[in-house]
Amino acid sequence: MAKSNKKSQEKASSKKQEQLEQHKKDPSGKPMTTNQGLKVNDTNNSLKSGERGSTLLEDFLLREKITHFDHERIPERIVHARGSGAHGVFELYKAIPEFTKAGMFNDTKRKTPVFVRFSTVAGSKGSPDLARDVRGFAVKFYTEEGTWDLVGNNMPIFFIQDAMKFPDLVHSVKPEPNKEIPQAASAHDTFYDFVSHATETLHNHIWAMSDRAIPRSYRMMEGFGIHTFRMINDKGEAHFVKFHWKPLLGVHSVTWDEAVKINGADADFHRRDLWDAIEAGQYPEWELGLQLIPEKDEHKFDFDLLDPTKLVPEEMVPVKIVGKMTLNRNPDNFFAETEQVAFLPGHIVPGLDFTNDPLLQGRLFSYRDTQLSRLGTPNFHQIPINRPVVENHNNQRDGHMQMDIPKGQTAYFPNTLSGGCPHLSKMSEGAFHSYEERIDAKKIRTRSESFSDHFSQPALFYRSLANWEKEHVADAYTFELGKCNQDHIKERMLWVINQIDTDLAKKVADGLGMSVPKNIDKPINQAIGADADVKKHQPGKKKIYLDESPALSQANTKFDSVATRKIAVLVSDGFSMSDYEKMTKSLEKEGATLAIIAPHGGKVTCDKNVSHPVDAAINTTESVLYDAVYIPGGKKSVDALIKEAKFSKFLNEAFKHCKAIAADNEGENLIDNTFIKDHKDDKAIFINGKASDFKTAIANHRNWDRMEVAKKVAV
Ligand code: HDD
């Protein structure tokens, strides 16, 4: 059966790809050798004294093979260990010289090569993809002026305001140190012990309780640079800027029940989805948007632009779309590229600069430092995936795994012996020059009072959600706190949630079988110094400077495409080919992927006596792996499906997860064997319906109106 609409696999040719080509090794048709190039005759047996004798120390083949194997692991990333990467390209729609002199934002003919890595934060390298977690969204731009890394997340804010607290945050969410439990999960006492005392975490935390933390696909999530950065034009004028990635497929998520089941059915769900889409030529695309704020407006907001726990609502500062990123090539080798890629927020180019956001400032140190233990050498920039596409020369020398051979007598500056080279460049010649910001201040270890509003933006986020999203948030809090053992932690969390929204707190309290504490002491924000003035740093009362921000709700995303959606087609021998064609032709044309699911593997024969390959036998797959389900007619086929209970379970689950379901002719008999039989009037259930209506329902992602009924489905 036809799969997705395969575009021709265009070979992404770029300066970076050409550079990587030089390092690739292709063993096809080649003899096996040792690392020294010696041809190998036997890689299966060690050298022994006699056929059954002991193995000899002389065996250099054994030693080379085993030694390399013994050392083939490197430390996983301390956070964001689980991830997937892809190559691509960034193209600018329109030059923006008025804001920045950065080359990639000034030349619409340039195709800037990129490498992107998506990740979860808390889990280990082998943890499942659908953990409730923030997703990393790190982009490496190989620009003509040097490499720029935009190391962001899929949520526009962060948990903490100062890098000094990062180890505490991470230690609280990671598995508890005595028992190394739980893996890739925030639902445990230590995390909530921390969150309830460090109230600055609440904004990112409520996002993590929302559907944003369980995306349908990496391809269907937004990305954010989070911090306020600076753009500098060639007159030296600066604008504050926030970076946004907007996926062309819209922002979509799965439900928590699906997430839990997907983790069992396919722990690589997001990794596979990204890989498959790129292999099929259905290249993921994001537009890059900028929120630009003139320097003079720095203090115009009700929050501090340097506080990374605050977003700038799009309704207050619109997002200006400036270009598009397309991911068009899978890596050749996971370890060499995705594992060894090193992102550093300190990788910057002229025309861009940092701000004094204290979280960003700390990150500028941490990322270089971590590569030293992870990749083992200050020469990590020489690893092919990390090499810039422009030449780099300086007087740094030696170190583990030096791959370059720097020529010449000198390794210092200034020098005359090498003619003063490598020489310095003027700004007019493209040299980087830090933005000259006037600073007149005391050296002081404290938190700015302007960072003390911890409730207004979580409340704005919650107010802006659709009812179904709000319900998911309440369920998530109830689940997470339900997994905590300590009542005093849950109580404190309920008190804190109550400061965000009283209805939300009540719902969660009901779910926990507790009540919202009224008289708890105001939680002391403990993320301050022992001598700090406590009153100054207490989170203030929530303010309302915007009733709602529609841009924050997934109900307002794009619902215009079925491209890359996976539709399960349940069939057995004798299914109606004309039904199948009627329903699926336009879906396939618009890029949806159809998967034939049958009682057995191999092939099924339709009523026209043509055999079709089965994509998955029912015992190898699960409903949660698909976006929609279709059952064509054909009595013999449907009778066989009814006999196998898992097909009915498959449908009940799709119904529970509010997905579109269509059946034609005898296909209805299978529907009648499920919970759906009394809900055929549902707006995303189609019995002998129109293909175009089914398609619209799939593009709509889910029918959330069904949520109350769906809860009654016991699967
Ligand atoms: Fe971080 C990795 C994103 C704050 C320290 N971080 C890492 C990655 C992403 C982020 C996407 C994975 C990169 C990859 O795929 O290789 N981190 C963020 C964002 C933050 C943030 C959006 C706040 C706005 N991070 C942050 C702080 C610190 C770190 C405050 C330390 C003070 N992050 C690290 C790290 C990691 C890292 C330990 C682990 C692996 C790596 O850097 O290369 O240095």
Looking at the DSSP bridge assignments, the partners of residue 92 are 323
If pLDDT is split at 50, 70 and 90, which confidence band does 10 have? very low
The mean of the pLDDT values for the chain is 96
pLDDT digits (tens, 9 = 90+) for 244-256: 999 999 999 999 9
pLDDT confidence of residue 693: 97
Q: How many residues does the chain have?
A: 715
SS3 504: helix
Q: Is 93 in contact with 228 (CB distance < 8 Å)?
A: no
pLDDT confidence of residue 535: 81
Mean pLDDT for the stretch of residues 86-105: 98
Residue with the two structure tokens 């993809």: 129
pLDDT digits (tens, 9 = 90+) for 25-38: 999 999 999 999 99
Q: The pTM is what?
A: 0.97
Q: Single out the catalytic residue among 23, 45, 106, 153.
A: 153
Query: Which residues does 583 contact at the CB level (< 8 Å), separation at least 6?
Result: 630, 632, 662, 664, 691, 694
Domain edges within the chain? 559-710
* Three-class secondary structure assignment of 86-99: EEEEEEECCCCCCC
CA of 367 to the centre of ligand 1 (A): 7
**C-alpha to C-alpha distance for 17 and 331, rounded to whole angstroms:** 10
On whether 52 is known to bind a ligand per the annotation, the reply is no
pLDDT confidence of residue 522: 67
**Residue 669 appears among annotated catalytic residues:** no
If pLDDT is split at 50, 70 and 90, which confidence band does 4 have? very low
**Residue 80 appears among annotated catalytic residues:** yes
Residue with the two structure tokens 């005595």: 178
On whether 132 is known to bind a ligand per the annotation, the reply is no
List the 685-687 sheet strands across, edge first.
616-617, 593-598, 566-570, 628-631, 660-663, 685-687
Q: Which of 84, 117, 151, 221 has the most ligand 1 atoms within 8 A of CB, as the residue to mutate?
A: 151
Q: Which residues of 456-467 are buried (b: 16+ CB within 10 A; e: fewer)?
A: bbbbbbbbbbee
CATH of 559-710, one of 3.40.50.300, 3.30.2320.80, 3.90.650.10, 3.40.50.880: 3.40.50.880
What are the phi and psi torsion angles at 167 (to 5°)? -60, -35
Examine the pLDDT at 511 and tell me if it is beyond 90. yes
- State the first-to-last Cα distance of the chain, in angstroms, to the nearest integer: 30
DSSP string, 233-302: -TTS-EEEEEEEEEETT---B--HHHHHHHHHH-TTHHHHHHHHHHHTT---EEEEEEEEEEGGGTT-SS
Q: What amino acid is encoded at 107 in this protein? A: D
Q: Which residues of 1-24 are buried (b: 16+ CB within 10 A; e: fewer)?
A: beebbeeeeeebebebbebbeeee
Nearest to 582 by CA among 507, 665, 638: 665
Q: Which residues of 587-601 are buried (b: 16+ CB within 10 A; e: fewer)?
A: bbebbbbbbbbbbee
CA of 154 to the centre of ligand 1 (A): 13
DSSP state of 337: I
Query: Which residues does 629 contact at the CB level (< 8 Å), separation at least 6?
Result: 567, 568, 569, 570, 623, 650, 651, 654, 659, 660, 661, 662
Q: What is the position in ligand 1's atom list of the atom closest to the CA of 369?
A: 44
CA of 196 to the centre of ligand 1 (A): 23
Nearest CA to ligand 1 atom 34: 367
DSSP string, 101-148: --GGGT-TT-EEEEEEEEEESSS-TTS-TT-SS-EEEEEEEEETTEEE
Q: What amino acid is encoded at 469 in this protein? A: E
Mean pLDDT for the stretch of residues 496-500: 96
Q: Single out the catalytic residue among 80, 205, 239, 701.
A: 80
Structure tokens given for 487: 């009542």
Examine the pLDDT at 229 and tell me if it is beyond 50. yes
| Residue 508 burial (CB count, 10 A) | 28
On whether 117 is known to bind a ligand per the annotation, the reply is yes
Nearest CA to ligand 1 atom 4: 363
pLDDT digits (tens, 9 = 90+) for 395-423: 999 999 999 999 999 999 999 999 999 99
Q: Is 206 in contact with 155 (CB distance < 8 Å)?
A: no
Pocket residues: Cβ below 6 A from ligand 1: 77-80, 83, 117, 119, 136, 138, 151-153, 158, 163, 166, 226-227, 308, 341-343, 359, 362-363, 366-367, 370
CA of 224 to the centre of ligand 1 (A): 13
